[in-house]
Amino acid sequence: MRLHANRRTLWVASWIIGLGLFALVIKQAGINMLVVQLRHLGWSFGLLILLSGGRHILRTAAWFACVTAEELKPKFLRLFEIRLIGDAATDLTLAGPLLGEGLKVWLASAQLPTAYSLSSVVLENLMYALAASYFVLSGLAVVLLTGVRSRELGVFVTACAVLLILFILFLSYLLRQRQRVVSRMVKWSKQHYASWRWRERHEESLKRFEASVEDFYHNHRRLFYYVFIGEMATNLTGVAEAYIILKATSGHESFVAAYLLEALNRIITIACAFIPLRLGGDEGSTALMMRALGSRGVDGVSLALARKLRTIVWVSLGLYLMPQDIVPRQSKAA
């Protein structure tokens, strides 16, 4: 009971902090200017919805490809619905991706064995993380090559680049060398927690999950690269979004600026993953980035707000689908 109360308190506190930061950024940017800029968006907002829809389709296609058991594959539309539901949970709750991705696994396991459901979700996220790392790394390289205006920014960019390179090398090493990390963790837990019942119930599923992840890389190499290319394309839809918003709201027509802002957005998405709707984080970071590029901070806030509005559209659709999927799944589980 106390744990439930603590979770609710943290959830409420996260919303209050996020809303407070959001209000502060909006006040500093000037609400009148923001309203004027967002009005200029006009019909372009429909194009943003189409682009973000394309991004959902691309990531769903990647997830669909990660289910290598052809006879068990759910329908594409079904995975698309589950994705929207999981993303809605990710965007609105304190648990963020922990709840959202877990919800995807749970809903997909109605048609897939849990091991395959878990491996497909983890695989898709790993592929997206790998593609996003290369994308962000390219953005950081552009910053370093075009000149860094301050020592602090140079240190930050260099540190991010080093971390991304290490992550890419580590992930590549695990895949290439067949490092059975999960199996080793299970073995370690047996030595230190011999009576752990959860491990006994799920050990076989965890081993099948690990085997399916390795199988995807070593035995479906062409599919691996196709999925990687698709995940890279999802980042480019974000670049197109940033370019359209900046051009419509403030007259910026720099593809490089849009590219750098989208690379920053990938970092902020991770840093603010557990803040509902990333309130305040998106707006503040984008404003700082616009200033670093020699533009007005209010232009960055307008960009973040336009993206927030299109996110709300897809979150609303996910919330609409949620009862239709979760209630029947709970009934079957009971």
Domain boundaries, the chain: 34-177+220-333
Q: Which residue type is seen at 152?
A: E
Average pLDDT of every residue of the chain: 80
pLDDT band at 204 (very low <50, low <70, confident <90, very high): low
Return the higher-pLDDT residue of 11 and 40.
40
Cα-to-chain-centroid distance, residue 198: 29
State the CB neighbour count (10 A cutoff) for residue 294.
8
pLDDT at 283: 82
Q: Is 20 helix (H, G, I), strand (E, B) or coil?
A: helix
Cα-to-chain-centroid distance, residue 228: 15
Identify whether the C-beta of residue 101 lies closer than 8 Å to the C-beta of residue 121. yes
Return the higher-pLDDT residue of 21 and 279.
279
Angle between helix 114-146 and helix 197-219 axes, rounded to 10 deg? 60
Which range among 12-26, 37-51, 170-184 shows the weakest confidence by mean pLDDT?
Answer: 12-26
306: Cβ contacts below 8 Å, ≥ 6 apart: 38, 41, 45, 48, 245, 249
Q: Give the single-character DSSP code of 75.
A: P
CA distances from 309 to 48, 90, 237, 244, 300 (A): 10, 16, 16, 15, 14
Question: How confident is the model over 211-245, as pLDDT tens digits?
Answer: 777 777 778 888 889 999 999 999 999 999 999 99
pLDDT band at 205 (very low <50, low <70, confident <90, very high): low
Identify whether the C-beta of residue 135 lies closer than 8 Å to the C-beta of residue 235. yes
Residue 156 pLDDT exceeds 80: no
State the CB neighbour count (10 A cutoff) for residue 58.
21
Express as a percent the part of the chain with pLDDT over 70.
74
**Rg of the chain (C-alpha set):** 21
Highest mean pLDDT among 148-157, 182-191, 269-278: 269-278
265: Cβ contacts below 8 Å, ≥ 6 apart: 238, 242, 282, 286, 307
Question: How confident is the model over 93-127, as pLDDT tens digits?
Answer: 877 888 899 899 989 888 888 878 888 898 899 88
Residue 3 pLDDT exceeds 50: no
Measured in Å, how far apart are the chain's first and last C-alpha atoms? Answer: 22
Would you put residue 321 in left (φ > 0), alpha (ψ -120 to 50) or beta?
alpha
Structure tokens at 230: 């698709």
Question: 210-248 burial by CB neighbour count: b if 16+ within 10 A, else e?
Answer: bebbeebbeeeeeebeebbebbbbbbebbbbbbbbbbeb
DSSP-assigned states of every residue in 241-260: HHHHHHHHHH----HHHHHH
pLDDT at 82: 94
Residue 292 pLDDT exceeds 90: no
Q: Residue 59: which of 228, 266, 259, 269 has the closest Cα?
A: 228
pLDDT at 78: 93
pLDDT at 168: 86
Q: Residue 286: which of 4, 67, 22, 39 has the closest Cα?
A: 22
Express as a percent the part of the chain with pLDDT over 90.
20
